[in-house]
Every structure is written in structure tokens, then in C-alpha cells.
Structure 1
Amino acid sequence: MFILFESEAEPATRTWSYLSDIPPELVAEWKRRVALAQITESTLRVRLRLTGSELQYRRSKHSRMIEEMKKELSGPGSFLSRLHLYVLLDAEGYLLQMVGSNPVVNKLAGHRVPGVSMALESAGLNALSMCMQLKCTTVMMGHENTCRIFGNFTAICSPVLVKGELLGYSGLAIQNQDDIEMAVALLQKVTANIQERLAQDSASPLTREEIYAKLDEYGLTPREKEVAYRWMHHETTVQISCELYITEGTVRNMIKTVYRKTGVNEKGRFITKFLL
């Protein structure tokens, strides 16, 4: 959990980019793409919004990242005293989760923002679409956003990278008059903690084949081994059912069978037995 610290003097080299730092010809190209996509200041393109089932699937797929985000934001040290909003997006730029001040969350929920794409061709210029182009921490002032709904906030976005793989993006929106340097440090620390915990998930020294060999000792069927492997690596029952084309009920029943055959009664002991 991140504990807020007092900001120090600004370092000689910033760890983020403003829109004003970007070469004018590149910004002009981004704006050309926004114009071609017919993005206006008052709309988000509906065609780049997930359906309810699609949003549920993507949230399920990234459940560990969402879980770690919520853990990071569960303490007082990770919240600002003024209006603010944390967001988590997948690698394609779809907004999966929002956490923050109730007035902000409720307003955006009313616009059906969860599930919307924040990519350049969907929401125009914003901190996330700039971050997607640059793959580094970005800061965008309210008036620089294409969509008017974001005009009252300064937004910061950082990529979530685990062992070189881009898993998604984390973002923080603050009021325009708030301390940008402190907010950037806060978001980068939250993001680093999420990355560290996700990296630990994949730190098992055992290969899939070695884990399957251990499961063979308990008489698991090939499908039970596949479900067991995905379950111990924190995939949800919904995600497993979608990826293996079986019902969620079947997945739950298989997990119960796996527990019975391996002599455990809960997930923590199951993971300890086969991964540690």
C-alpha cells in the first residue's frame, strides 16, 4: 500500500511528458487522425464501446490487475483530498475500472464511461491516447483534451508493464489546480506496486510441464489439469470457461474435483502445494 510522502524539489529530468513536449508535426498527425475519426468535443464514439458481456470478459481477463489496483487504493495514503479519479485500462485502451471521488465516478458512470475506448480514434486526444502512442507517463491539461467531458481535469497516465509485456494502463485525473508533480509521483508509485505484485505471480520456477507432471500424481484428467493450471495462476472461473469453451458451472465442479483429488480444501493451500 502506498503512503503519501511530502514532495521534494523537482528533479532535473522530468519522468513524464506534456503535450507541449511533443514535436508539433507528431501532434498534427494525431489531430489529423482524430479529425478523420470524426471525434467531436461532446461525444465518444459508441462503436468503440464494449457491450456488457465484453466488459465483463475483459474485467475477468484482467482480474488480478484490477484486484491489485483496488488493494493499492484501499488506504488513505493513496487518495487525494480533492476530487480525483483513478482508472485502469487494458492494453487496447478500454476503460475497465474506476475508483475515486463519488461525484466524479457517478458523473462518468452516467455517461456509460466504463467500457469505453480511450484510444485516439475513439476519444481523441487525452492522457491515455497520448500514453498509448509514447509508451511512457504522460500528463494532459484539461483544455488539451478533445472531449469536453474531461475539460475540468488534468490527467496522468502510465503503462503497466510486467517483464516487458504491456498489460494495460493506469490513470489518475485531478483538478486542474492540483499539484501535478505530487500526483505523478503517486500514480507512478501505485503503478510500480501493481507491476511488482503481478510479476510475483509469474515468478514460479516450475514450467507448465513440471506442474502437469505433479498433477499427474493425483490422477487428474487432461481437462482437469488445464483448469487446475489456470486456476492456480489466478484466472477466474468466467475467464477459464470462456477460454476453454465450457460452462462456468463445469469449471466450478472441476475445481472441486481437483481439490478433492489433491487433498486440499482452499485455493491458498492448492497454490502452495503446487507452485511453492
Structure 2
Amino acid sequence: MGDMKSNEILFSYKKCLEIGLTKSIVTPLISLEEEELKRKLQENKKLIEVFRKCVNKVRAQLKKRYIFLLVDSEGYLLDVLCNRKIYKDITDLGIKRGTSFKEESCGTNAISLAMKLKQPIYLKPEEHYCDIFKQWYCIATPFYIDNQIVGYLDISIIEHNMADEMMGFIDLLVYKIVNEYKREMGLESQEDLEKLTDKQIEIIKKCAKGYTELAISMELGLKPSTVKYHKKEIIKKLRVKNFQQAIAKAIKLNLID
């Protein structure tokens, strides 16, 4: 992985030189127009909501002043979470919603390399190409949903070395964001959920056919209270609010016809 990263950094430097990108630029060169940015934000509304929800739960636990960046699959910044002073500082650098993190916009950076390699990348200040990020420690990693990248998460800190535990922390945070996003979008597969038992699948099948709890208990040789218990467990395992939603989700997951 180290050699691959080093080679990709060198290739990226070469590309930056070929396109005539000046190292001394102090602000990204490419940003979305207002209308295009509005469209992007609307398209990624749910991802942004989940990003904010998950990151805000963990930010208070971090002593240092970390910056959390959410970027779409094309490298455009969708959202930033950090304290107010840092937010003002990075906004003054031209880093705001709609900013592009592609090489042609701001040189070699963790996000541009994560986009190339489709895997987590950690960059130290000296490994960045442009002066914009010469004090930044950054780690960026993709969000995979069903083998498709829907965006990238970057955690950065300025003028402080990044703590080693952040490498594991970003994996955990991405895991939480991906699972919450899949749940919100109804994209979960049975592998993502706690497995239903054979008995619970039988119960949900019969409920889908209109059987009453009493009829199910007689058919399966269970107490009515046991049927009620299994129905509550089914709702919990499928992460839904009621049994009608459980039936709909079971059909979607091909658990029942």
C-alpha cells in the first residue's frame, strides 16, 4: 500500500505540472455554479443529513479541532463540520460547499487520491502539492453502497499531527454513516440486518396472507403471546416502525413472496 500511495502521489504531481497548476495557489480553482450546487445538494440531501447526524454524535468526544468534509462521488464538497473559528478560516481559503477537490482544482490531496485509488488515503502536509494544504493532515475514504461509491469522507486537522487512532475512527464513522444512510434510503439487504429465524419467517408469511395471531398460533402450535413476541422481534430486526412495514420490507428483501 505504501509503494502504491507513493507512486500515485508522484503521478499526481506529474499531472499537476502537466496542466500548469501553480503550487502557490492559495484557494481552489474550481467551484460549482449556484444552480448546479443547489441540484447537487438536493440530490444528496439524505446523505448530508446522515453525515451531520453521525458526525455530531462523535465530535464532542474529540479534543482536537478536527474538520469533517463530506464530498460527493465527483469530488465536490457537500458539507463541512468543524468549530466556528476553523470554519471561518477555511472559508477564507475558498473551501466551501461546491468546491472541487480534483487535482486540477487544488492539486494533490487526500480526496483526489482516494477518488483514484477507491480506498482510504492519509496525507501529511508535505505530501500535498499546493500551498493551500501545506499545514493539513488529512485522511479520506470512500462511502461504498452496494459496490458503488456515493461519496467520500475526509477528516483533517491543521497544524497538529493526526492521532493514530483516527485511522480506525474514520473506518468506524464511515461504517455508521453508510448503515444509517442505507436504512434511511431503504437500501439494506438481509445481510445488513439481524437474521430472522425460520419460525419468524413462517409467522411473517402467514401475516402477509391475512392470518390472525390466533390462527397463526394454532397453525404453528405456539401460544398467542409467543406469536406477539416474535412479531415484535421481527419489527426490531427489520428496523421498521410497525408490522405492515415489516411485511413490505420482507417482500422487498425476498424473504416472502
Q: Do both proteins adopt the same fold according to a TM-score greater than 0.5, normalized to the shorter chain?
A: yes
In structure 2, the gaps of 5 or more residues are 190-240, 250-257
What's the RMSD between the two structures over aligned residues?
A: 2.7
What is aligned with 1:10?
A: none
In structure 1, the gaps of 5 or more residues are 1-16, 206-267
| Cα separation, partners in 2 of 1:52 and 1:272, compared to 1, 3 Å | farther
Aligned partner of 1:67 among 46, 49, 63: 49
What is aligned with 2:142?
A: 159
CA distance in 2, matches of 1:190, 1:54: 28
Q: Deviations over 1:227-276 (max 9, x none)?
A: xxxxxxxxxxxxxxxxxxxxxxxxxxxxxxxxxxxxxxxxx99x959955
SS in 2 for 1:97: strand
Do the aligned partners of 1:73 and 1:79 also contact (CA within 8 Å) in 2? no
The one-letter amino acid paired with 1:195 is V
Offset, 1:37: 2.3
What is aligned with 1:142?
A: 125
Offset, 1:45: 5.1
Offset, 1:52: 1.9
Report whether the alignment pairs 1:192 with 2:175.
yes
The one-letter amino acid paired with 1:109 is T
SS in 2 for 1:143: helix
Identity within the alignment, %: 20
Report whether the alignment pairs 1:96 with 2:78.
yes
Q: Deviations over 1:179-211 (max 9, x none)?
A: 432112222111111111222223379xxxxxx
CA distance in 2, matches of 1:275, 1:62: 25
The one-letter amino acid paired with 1:202 is G
Do the aligned partners of 2:28 and 2:95 also contact (CA within 8 Å) in 1? no
CA distance in 2, matches of 1:104, 1:40: 25
| Cα separation, partners in 2 of 1:78 and 1:26, compared to 1, 3 Å | same
Matches within 5 A, 1:1-276: 21-22=3-4, 25-43=7-25, 44=27, 46=29, 48-76=30-58, 79-114=61-96, 115-200=98-183, 201-203=185-187, 276=249
TM-score (norm 1): 0.63
CA distance in 2, matches of 1:42, 1:103: 24
| Cα separation, partners in 2 of 1:24 and 1:164, compared to 1, 3 Å | closer
Do the aligned partners of 1:82 and 1:175 also contact (CA within 8 Å) in 2? no
The one-letter amino acid paired with 1:169 is Y
Flag the structure with larger Rg. 2
| Cα separation, partners in 2 of 1:198 and 1:56, compared to 1, 3 Å | same
CA distance in 1, matches of 2:91, 2:4: 32
CA distance in 1, matches of 2:7, 2:167: 26
CA distance in 2, matches of 1:79, 1:56: 32
SS in 2 for 1:75: helix
